[in-house]
Chains A and B, each alone.
Chain A
Amino acid sequence: MAVPSLQRAVPGWLRRFVPRRRWRRYPPYLFYLFIASWLLVGFLFLTSAAVVVNTVESFTTWDGFVGDHLHWWILDNYQALVHDSGLRDSIKQTFEYTAITVTASVIGSLGLAVFLNQPHRGVRFFRSVFYLPTAISIVVAGMAFATLFNYPSGLINDVVLHLGGNVTDMLDTDTAFVAVILMSVWQLGMGMVIFMAGLQGISPELLEAACVDGSSKVQTFFRITAPLLSPVILFQVITGVISCFQAFVAPMALRGGNGVQSSTLFYMLYVFGSLAPGGDCGYGAAVLEIGFVFLLVLAFVIFRLSARFVYYESSVEGR
């Protein structure tokens, strides 16, 4: 580009105060132009504003209708949280559900991934079959499991009857909890695919070396494959916990909107119940605030951890 003429025009001692016009590939604000849509709508409006609205709401008492039914009620909502036994139960149930579901799906998806990693014909066929439940909507998954556990024409009752048991309405009892877990584990395709990618990332030389050294297949799996996959397993556990925490639609889909059993009244459903208009929305917001705090703490812990276990691929940082 042309040599800046203003630089030459001013006396030498002034030159360093005259901005030098360098040629640039792009104006410095271009980055912000490209992320503007996400930053303004996605981050500031849909995320940050929502958190602020909820936090402010949690300090009020409000019936949820648009209008002037709002009163400030500082901290009373949070005091009430401590004595809310329904909330405590829902959190306990969510933790139980999360622990069982995450353990079962991580083990199950790793098992299926190992199964599909064998050199046989038909891997792709089985892979599609195992992934199919993940592709369909959770609403339909819930309906499918409802037909299985149904009273009286469900398949499970059918089997129970053949074995000489009594037909019961399983979705009206605590069995609904088991049904929700089975349904969540059934949709483990995503974890399976991630584990398959992880397994393919293990260098064959390593497995071969183990084989040459006389290690059995089981030994190789527990001594070599599993340790090498440990970052993937940790990732699966974290995403599993986050997704189980959101459990909301699954119990609803199983028995329609109004039939949620107390054994499947998870945290998110409890939030939903307490936020219903006409109730105390301020209190509901305080209940929801627990979730925000929990996940923010979790996110912070993950960030700290990820520095240790995540491998950062080098990328073009732009010029």
Chain B
Amino acid sequence: MKYLDEYRNEGLAQKVVSEIRREVTKPWVLMEVCGGQTHTIVKYGIDHLIPPEVELVHGPGCPVCVTSLEMIDKAHTIARRPDVIFTSFGDMLRVPGSESDLLVLKSRGADIRIVYSPIDALKIARANPNKKVVFFAIGFETTAPGNAMAVWQAHKQGIKNFSVLVSHVLVPPAIASILQSPLNRVQGFLGPGHVCTVMGYREYEPIAERFRVPIVITGFEPLDILEGVLMTVRQLELGQWEVQNQYPRVVRREGNLMAQDLVNQVFEIGDRKWRGVGSIPKSGYKLRYELRDHDAERIFEVEEIDTKEPDICISGLVLRGVRKPHDCPAFGKQCTPEHPLGATMVSAEGACAAYYAYGRHLQQPQPKRSMDGVGVGER
């Protein structure tokens, strides 16, 4: 299939890299927000292909990573109950709480089931009327429409034994929080392509204006990332701060309006604690009051659980782009994907886990690479 190669064409990638080189006159720090983009960058060594003036730092865009420790502890408290079937996306099962993880609880007899979709959790609730079925509703804006629909259907159809433990996080407030930090180094953003498929990118425009930072909504292919970098650097060099769309083949400015509409009917915006970062005002969704009969935090009275996170790990600084994974003395030593100490190692999409997966704990920070091998697989 010839068209597949258009986004992996070495000549095209080389051309974009040359353009970046031609445009750049001073050092810039850019952040990619989405964990999927971090993955592409590390896998294909894109941060080593681009000119040394342009530094890529990795953002907080992995929902598994940033789900707060106390929310994980709440999940464990609920999942241990004999009257509960606890359902979750598979990614959450290995995430450590203060004492254990869901996989361990499952091995000790808790009824914990991995589901592909919140709709499957709803089906389990229908099939098990004598059990309380709880779904761990995590994610950025990409999973919110699905989770909202499950709650909405449970509400409409009177499925009273279905509830959700909501730990939704939102990208725009996280970007604003990073920019407000006195430690901030980030001067431009590669925006999250798939989040914007759902939400569009209108809500990024006031942020770009207020903080005078360019935000370029970017895809996930190596060439997408390079084009996103070029468009951001070009704006920075010209002193512009617009929201631009590198990914128009998927993303439209308004996003999916039907999905946004149901999300707004089911959820309202509230403060949210992020693992490694702390509380960010108005950075998450919570269930609307009218739907409180489906709110697992209320039903199982776990609202008061408050867990302090360990101080040893620097993931909060990594998530804000202040430090890189190999700046941490524990990285790849005490802290590995098998025994994660903090947010950025707990899921494959976290920056530390991505660095570890591609062997960067074995290397010193590398010299720039040549172009050969873009998109030819594992390196």
The answer to whether A and B come from one shared complex is no
